[in-house]
């Protein structure tokens, strides 16, 4: 499980995050306050709000490299749209902590 902070002024509700997930991954359902989805190499994507941050847990599976690349592209797009931070900014934040 990984916690992602929201960029200032970019905080999203669980409902808004669900809409982003539907746009990017094509499917999403809510179960006990958690959003569940899957796409490509990500067998399970589970997202919820915890202490004002977005918590995400994923389960991966082995796939061909082109599908893995598309999955990574969509995952990064999802995180950017949900948190407001680019992959580069997220990496920088992770190395600071």
Q: DSSP characters for 31-64?
A: ETTEEEEEETTEEEEEEEEETTEEEEEEEE----
Q: What is the pLDDT of residues 1-17, one digit of tens each?
A: 999 999 999 899 999 99
Whether residue 66 lies inside any domain: the answer is yes
- C-alpha dihedral (64, 18, 90, 50), degrees to nearest 10: -120
> What residue numbers bound the domain in which 80 lies?
2-92
Split at pLDDT 50, 70, 90, the class of 94 is confident
Q: Reduce the DSSP state of residue 88 to 3 states and report it.
A: helix
Among 12-16, 23-27, 93-97, where is mean pLDDT lowest? 93-97
Q: Is the pLDDT of residue 93 over 90?
A: no
Whether residue 97 lies inside any domain: the answer is no
Q: Distance (Å, rounded) from C-alpha 64 to C-alpha 53?
A: 32
Predicted TM-score (pTM) of the model is 0.91
Cα–Cα distances (Å) from 94 to 7, 37, 87, 91, 97, in that order, read 14, 25, 10, 5, 6
The two three-digit tokens of residue 31, written as one number: 């179960």
What is the domain-level CATH number for residue 35?
3.30.310.190
Q: Distance (Å, rounded) from C-alpha 2 to C-alpha 78?
A: 14
Query: What local confidence, expressed as pLDDT, does residue 96 receive?
Result: 77
Structural domains counted in the chain: 1
Whether residue 31 lies inside any domain: the answer is yes
Q: Is the pLDDT of residue 50 over 70?
A: yes
């Amino acid at each position: 499980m990984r916690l992602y902070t929201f960029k200032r002024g970019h905080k999203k509700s669980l409902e808004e995050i669900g809409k982003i997930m539907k746009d990017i991954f094509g499917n999403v359902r809510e179960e006990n306050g958690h959003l569940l989805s899957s796409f490509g190499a990500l067998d399970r994507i589970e997202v919820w709000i915890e202490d004002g941050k977005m918590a995400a847990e994923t389960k991966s599976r082995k796939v061909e490299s082109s599908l893995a690349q598309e999955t990574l592209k969509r995952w990064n797009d999802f995180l950017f749209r949900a948190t407001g931070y680019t992959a580069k900014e997220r990496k920088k934040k992770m190395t600071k902590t």
